[in-house]
Amino acid sequence: MKSTMAMRRRSRTVLAGVGLSAALLATGCSGTQDPAQAGFLDGVANLASGTYDERIEQREVARASAEAEASRLEARAAELETERRALAAEEAAARQRLQRMNANLAQQQARLQELEAREGANRERLSELQTRARAMEARRQTLAADPDPGLEQEVNRLEQEVASLRRDIDTIIAELAAQE
C-alpha cells in the first residue's frame, strides 16, 4: 500500500509538474512577435521563423527612408537659405539704388529751385534793364526835340549806358544758355 500511495503521490507531483510546465509554456508562448512582450518560447520561435530579422529589416528600411527624407529636407533648407540670402542681397542693392535715386532727385530739385531763383533774378534784372532802356529812349527823344548846349556830354553818357545795358543783357543770355 505504501508503494501505491507513493506512486500516487509521485504521479500527482508529475501531473502537477506537467500542468505547471504546460501553464508556463502557455504563458511563454503567447504568439506575439514584439520582443518587448514575447516570452522565451515566443522569442525562440520568432528567431527560428525569421520574424525578428524581418522586423529588423523593416525598421532598417524605415530608418534609411527617414534618413533620406532628412537629407532631402536639409538640402531643401540649404537651398532656401541660399535663396533667402540672394533675395536679401537684391533687396539691399535695390535699397541702395533707391537711396541714390532719392539723393539724385534731391539734387535735381535743389538745382531746379536754384534755376528758378536765378530766372526770377534774371527777370528782375531784365525788367530793370527794360526800364532803363525806355528812360534812355525818352531822354534821347527829349534831346532830339530840344537841343541843349550839354548835348554832347549827355549823348556820351547815354552811349555808355547803352553799352552797359548791352553787357548786362549779354550776361543774362549767357547765363540762360549755360543753364540749358
Decide if pLDDT at 15 tops 80: no
Report residue 82's pLDDT band, with 50, 70 and 90 as the boundaries.
Answer: very high
CA atoms lying within 13 Å on the CB side of residue 98: 6
Residue 26 — pLDDT band, cuts 50, 70, 90? very low
Where are the alpha helices (H) located in the chain, listed in sequence order?
2-28, 40-49, 51-145, 151-179
**132-180 pLDDT, tens digit each:** 778 877 877 776 676 666 766 777 777 787 778 778 878 877 877 776 6
Rounded distance, CA 32 to CA 119, Å? Answer: 102
Q: Report pLDDT digits (tens) over 98-134.
A: 898 888 888 888 877 887 787 777 778 778 878 877 8
93 is written with which cell numbers? 542693392
Phi, psi of 20 (to 5 degrees): -65, -40
Residues 6+ apart with CB under 8 A from 136: 158, 161, 162, 165
Surface-to-core class of residue 64, CB atoms within 10 Å of its CB (0-12 exposed, 13-18 middle, 19+ buried): exposed
